[in-house]
A = this chain, B = another copy of it.
Amino acid sequence: MPIFVEGSEEEIKMTTKQEFKGVAELLWKPHTTQVRVRYGETDAMGYVYYGNYALYFEVGRNETMRKLGFPYGRIEEYGIMMPVVDMHLHYDSAAHYDDLLDITTGVLELHAASMIFGYIVSRAADRARLVYGTTTLAFVDSTTRKPVRVPELVRERIGIPQ
């Protein structure tokens, strides 16, 4: 259950990860970054290997966190790590070597000790949507590896009313 509430200064969307089918309008505070497909990321089919989208999601998520003002490196300085605890990917179409890809990443849900990002990967040349998906990240103490509450900085920058 997302803790997003309606009626705050901005209209806050409440999309659950189940509802997310790759529609950009449902992403909260979306940010788009680009990657170019490396040869080593393709496979013998001539496509990007399906597992490598986890790397692209990571790039999208990191740049979005940086843009929002809480780069992952700073989170780790707080003694907090954010392991991925759930991931879903849906593949509409394939990417090829040297394709320039847009990765649009935004927040879907914010919980007490976790958050869910949504992702849309599309080909920059023709804006065709290739892959969409979600990742759920837990907040854990780097030393004890036990769950901790989402830091105030993160909540603030995401723009959730206190």
Q: Mark A55-75, 1 if CB is under 8 A from B, else 0.
A: 100110010000000011100
The contact string, 1 if C-beta is below 8 Å from chain B, for chain A 148-162, is 000000000000000
Most buried by B among A83, A96, A135: A83
Question: What is the minimal beta-carbon distance from A64 to any residue of chain B, in angstroms?
Answer: 14
Q: A-side binding surface: helix, strand, loop or mixed?
A: mixed
> What are 12 A-B pairs with beta-carbon distances under 8 A?
A39-B43, A39-B72, A40-B49, A40-B51, A40-B52, A40-B54, A44-B44, A50-B84, A50-B87, A85-B91, A86-B89, A86-B91
With known contacts A40-B51, A44-B39, A55-B38, A98–B71 Cβ distance under 8 A: yes
